[in-house]
Amino acid sequence: MTDTNIAFPTPIKFGAGRHRELPALLSGLGVSRPLLVTDPGLRPTPAFAAVTSVLTRYEVCDAVHPNPVEDDVLAVAAAYMEHGCDGVIGLGGGSALDTAKIARWLTAFSSLGLAGFSWEHSYGKLPPFVAIPTTAGTGSEVGRSSVVTLDGHKRVFFHPSLLADLVILDPELTTGLPPRLTAATGADAFTHCLESLTSPVFHPFCDGIAWEGLRLSYENLPAAVSDGGNLEARGLMLMAAAMGGVAFQKDLGAVHSLSHPLSARFGVHHGTANALCVVPVMAFNARKKPGVYRRAASALGLEDTSDEAVIAAVKAWLETIGLTGGLRGQNVPETALEALATDAFADSCHRTNPVPVTEADLLELYRAAW
């Protein structure tokens, strides 16, 4: 694994130990008193200690839930202003990064609240933002959107100004992630790449990135799960996750429409929800559009390029990393599936599924995943 610097369009510092460059990088951004945004579970970890050990002047706000809500964003914005900070560091998984990202907007437009967020609004310059993921999954570090739960529904806030000014991808900060979370977050990265690659939207740039991200995640996630100290696998999973985050600007599909309500209503980890829904959705898509996974077959290194072979390979791969059991194993009651299907149909991701889906289709997919 070789260190490298990438700008696509976010500058990325990739490599083991690169978090130690943080003081100089902050200085280059004109930041002298950053607010470090994370979640309570990360504070006692070696990753948190490693990052804070290189900082001399900073404040911390850990008011972030696993599926962030509006109050989390308000708390981060309030802490930023209370402590007179001049930049933001997001440290953690997608929840911490998304909260840090959108809270910057509130520091400039606190009177509007999140309800006032709109594409047309004149944003001005938001505080500098450094994103440091400690999981390899969401790709939020390179994304231009934040997902926040409002009134029981996940809402996506999207604008190019939300992009991080700098990203640090350091596998040393991910080695303490437990196997189950490593698998779940990695499955999220895999699903981002798979759904982006098969979306009918025309975006050759994202297709190429999604194809390689799919290959990297398929090849390296089992090793990262079985050996948490494998820096090579951990690093390549961080890269796959970032590639998925870039690729899904092309858009996603029905798996994510099914996944979002599961997290909002029942707190199912987003990557786990994706993993439990992806095989039923793949089987549905293949029935409606034969050959839809032919390109995915080449990314997975399969000689048999049939949809059936790809689906079987993905199912076996999920079993290898321990993501099985169905939605019932996540305490999702069967009686909730109809309401979940209504929410899933209202979610925009399925609009760029390889084939159209109805609310009735989504209900059947939930039943298949249950």
**Boundaries of every domain in the chain:** 4-174, 179-369
Q: What is the pLDDT of residue 111?
A: 59
Domain 179-369 sits in CATH at 1.20.1090.10
Distance between CA atoms of residues 357 and 260, nearest Å: 16
pLDDT at 335: 96
173-202: b or e for each residue (b if 16 or more CB lie within 10 Å)?
A: bbbbbeeebbbbbbbbbbbbbbbbbbbeee
Confidence (pLDDT) at 338: 97
Evaluate if pTM is beyond 0.85. yes
Please give the pLDDT value at position 96: 95
Architecture in CATH for domain 4-174? 3-Layer(aba) Sandwich (3.40)
The 3-class SS string of 194-218 reads HHHHHCCCCCHHHHHHHHHHHHHHH
Place of tokens 């019932």: 328
User: 10 Å Cβ neighbour count for 22?
Assistant: 24
Whole-angstrom Cα distance, residue 301 to residue 330?
A: 32
Tell me which residues of the chain have a pLDDT lower than 50.
Answer: none
The Cα–Cα gap between 109 and 194 comes to 36
pLDDT of 311-332, one tens digit each?
999 999 999 999 998 999 999 9
- Give the CA radius of gyration of the chain: 20
Q: What is the pLDDT of residue 116?
A: 64
Angstrom distance (rounded) from CA 135 to CA 141: 10
Task: Round to whole Å and give the CA distance between 201 and 182.
Answer: 30
- DSSP-derived secondary structure for 65-118: -SS-BHHHHHHHHHHHHHTT--EEEEEESHHHHHHHHHHHHHHH-TTTTGGG--
Q: Cis check for the bond before 9: say yes or no (omega within 30 of 0).
A: yes
The β-bridge relationship of strands 4-7 and 11-14 is: antiparallel
Instruction: Report the pLDDT value the prediction gives residue 332, as an integer from 0 to 100.
Output: 96
